[in-house]
Amino acid sequence: MVKKEQVRLTDIFSEFKELKNIDRQTFVQVMEDSFRSVLAKMFGTADNFDVILNPETGELEIYRNRTVVDDSAEIANPNLEVHLSDARKIDEECEVDEEVTDTVDFLSFGRRAILNLRQTLASKILELQKAALTERYQSLVGQIVTGELYQVWKKELLCLDEDGNELYMPKQEQIPSDFYRKGDMVRAIVQRVEVTNGNPKIILSRTSKEFLQRLFENEVPEVHDGLITIRAIARIPGERAKVAVESYDDRIDPVGACVGIKGARIHGIVRELRNESIDVIHYSSNIRLFIERAISPAHISRIELDEENKQANLYMPSDEVSLAIGKGGFNIKLAGMLTGYSLDVFREDDLNGGDEEDIYLDEFADEIDQWVLDAIKNTGLHTAKSVLKLSRAELIKRTDLEEETIDHVLDVLNAEFAADDEEQ
């Protein structure tokens, strides 16, 4: 009769193993711990209980160990002590101060104990799942995963992996031109795992430099095998990126290998990144040469380096300045990000052959807000004359500032040169 009840008891909880996909050994340990937890709540302690669950047959056995006391003694705790006369019903040869062990029928404790056990087991399995999920995705940080888009919200996307686990991609981790519909497959890297009150939240990213690096590793065998090393990456997600590569094998052209024949390899990466333009350049430990390559396609006449402050002044002909700056100022921004230097561009003919003395924009900080000056300088314009030589429309387009702001800047700069003319 006991064996039949034991089997029925394990059948009650068999659903957990099937639904939660937990290996047998772990399930057995969790189940034993759950029984101990319920027994401790019922009797105050479970230290004197032995819970044995056979992983092969699924049979459960619970044994209680109690100390035998004389019949005349008062029992303080029936769970820990038993009178000699009662103990000999279990073991005829037992004596006082010995331990006697009897079998406990858990089902006899009633429906409430069964429900309590079910809830405890469910809670422990949920904790186990959360811990396993956290450990799994922490080991995948920086690696590409694929999820099916389940829900699109204003501030983030919700994807599900192949096991139905939830993966989140915040708006700032999405490429601006990304557009998905429910059911689409989304590729991204695991950016981080946030754990709040034991609940893991897996954060994905498509805007990080690591995502671009993993795509190169997937598309370019030489990068995957370590024959080509990616030394630096700079990205403006969805717009443009620069990647510096090198190879210690003189027989391998790292740039050619990354681009592929007729751009076959790079095109796959560009498509994944929503047509993000990618420049692949040769890395160099010579910082002057590296800056020249990073600012390509513009050609530099000379460079003034301040290595201590990571500052470089680039001098070039006027017709090269627009190439150095690039559309939206992206080229010079990325070159600075790639090299780690703050880059300033100067026209040689302005500085050497101009009739008027130029003025750095920082000199106007008392009349123009610093954030406005920074926005203009980020496009590669650092002097008043370089700003005035551009049209109003071009300035608005490059800086993305309001028309009223640009008009104020132009008024201040024009007034400065007009004042100089009057003095002369």
Q: What is the CATH number of the domain that holds 229?
A: 3.30.300.20
Mark whether 18 and 78 lie in a shared domain. Answer: yes
The DSSP line for 175-191 is -TT----TT-EEEEEEE
Mark whether 270 and 212 lie in a shared domain. Answer: yes
Last residue of a domain, one of 171, 206, 241: 206
In a domain, 153, yes or no: yes
> Which residues span the domain enclosing 17?
2-128
Mark whether 121 and 6 lie in a shared domain. Answer: yes
In tens digits, what is the pLDDT along the chain, a chain of 424 residues?
A: 334 444 344 555 555 555 555 666 777 777 788 888 888 888 888 888 888 877 666 677 888 899 888 888 888 888 888 888 888 888 888 888 888 888 887 777 777 777 877 788 788 888 888 888 999 999 999 999 999 999 999 899 999 999 889 999 999 999 998 988 899 999 999 999 999 888 999 999 999 999 999 999 999 999 999 999 999 999 999 999 999 999 988 899 999 999 999 888 999 999 999 999 999 999 999 998 999 999 988 888 788 888 899 999 998 888 788 889 988 889 999 999 999 999 999 887 655 554 456 677 878 888 899 888 888 877 767 778 878 888 888 888 888 889 999 999 999 988 887 765 555 5
How many domains in the chain?
A: 3
Mark whether 246 and 193 lie in a shared domain. Answer: no
Q: Cα separation of 156 and 172, whole Å?
A: 8
Q: Cα separation of 59 and 31, whole Å?
A: 12
- Please state, in angstroms and as integers, the Cα–Cα distance from residue 321 to each residue in 199, 220, 240, 295, 350, following that order: 52, 34, 18, 10, 12
The CATH number of the domain holding residue 173 is 2.40.50.140
Query: Do 417 and 356 touch, CB atoms closer than 8 A?
Result: yes
Q: Give the distance, in angstroms, between the CA of residue 65 and the centroid of all CA atoms in the same chain.
A: 52
